[in-house]
Amino acid sequence: MALYSEKVMDHFRNPRNVGVIEDANGVGEVGNLKCGDIMKMYLKIENDVIEDVKFETFGCGSAIASSSMATELIKGQPVKKARELTNKAVAEALDGLPDYKMHCSVLAEEAIEAALDDYDKRQK
């Protein structure tokens, strides 16, 4: 059995939504001290819908794939639905991650949560 699914390899080799949104209205950055991965998510939200999302990730292939898939799962979605995204949903959408790489999907969930929290703060 292959260590990584074809979807993980595809999102690692051809990550979607990489970059920065200069006028983002929600930005979140998280990291994992143990492995050194860092993820930064940028959200552009209009009328309570995530119109655009970009990411910058410094990390392993699983971290990049998790970031990429997470952005695909929330792009075009209402903020409420994006808040419900779990690391398990990210891993399932990638057709699984090895147990010792599940922390990468957790980082993607946490980066989105941090960006949404930043968006909330900016709205007040």
Catalytic residue among 9, 18, 35, 60: 35
Gap between the Cα atoms of 64 and 37, Å rounded: 9
Check if 104 is active-site.
yes
Q: Is the dihedral of CA 98, 102, 103, 108 positive or negative?
A: positive
60 is catalytic: no
Whether the CB-CB separation of 39 and 29 falls below 8 Å is answered with: yes
Of 8, 104, 108, 116, which is the active-site residue? Answer: 104
Give 112: exposed, middle or buried? Use CB within 10 Å, 0-12, 13-18, 19+: buried
**Pick from 32, 55, 102, 45: nearest CA to 77:** 45
As annotated, the active-site residues are 35, 104
